[in-house]
């Protein structure tokens, strides 16, 4: 059985929310965000959903890879 984070079931602080927003803005992967915040990945996903924060990466390729009709 996996070890529970030290702050399991503890409310999120304003500092943690700010850090979550900064990490998401920097395109940090969800598992790494969870590790940095000492929270479970599911907890990070749940809180970001509640706060309206998208965890989808914003980095895109430099050009559209779909081929246009010629």
The pTM for the full model equals 0.77
pLDDT exceeds 60 at position 29:
yes
Q: Long-range contacts of range 24-27, CB-CB < 8 Å, 24 or more positions apart?
A: 24/48, 24/53, 24/54, 24/55, 27/57, 27/58, 27/59
Average pLDDT, the chain: 85
Please tell me which residue, 54 or 8, carries the higher pLDDT value: 54
Q: Per-residue pLDDT tens for 1-20?
A: 677 877 888 999 999 999 99
DSSP state of 3: P
How many whole angstroms separate alpha carbon 64 and alpha carbon 43?
34
Burial of 34: CB neighbours in 10 Å, binned 0-12, 13-18, 19+: buried
């Amino acid at each position: 059985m996996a070890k529970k984070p030290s702050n399991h079931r503890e409310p999120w602080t304003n500092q943690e929310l700010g850090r979550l927003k900064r990490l998401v803005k920097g395109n940090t992967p969800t598992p790494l965000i969870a590790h940095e915040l000492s929270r479970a990945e599911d907890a990070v996903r749940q809180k970001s959903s509640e706060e309206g924060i998208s965890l989808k990466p914003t980095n895109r390729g430099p050009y559209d890879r779909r081929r246009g009709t010629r």
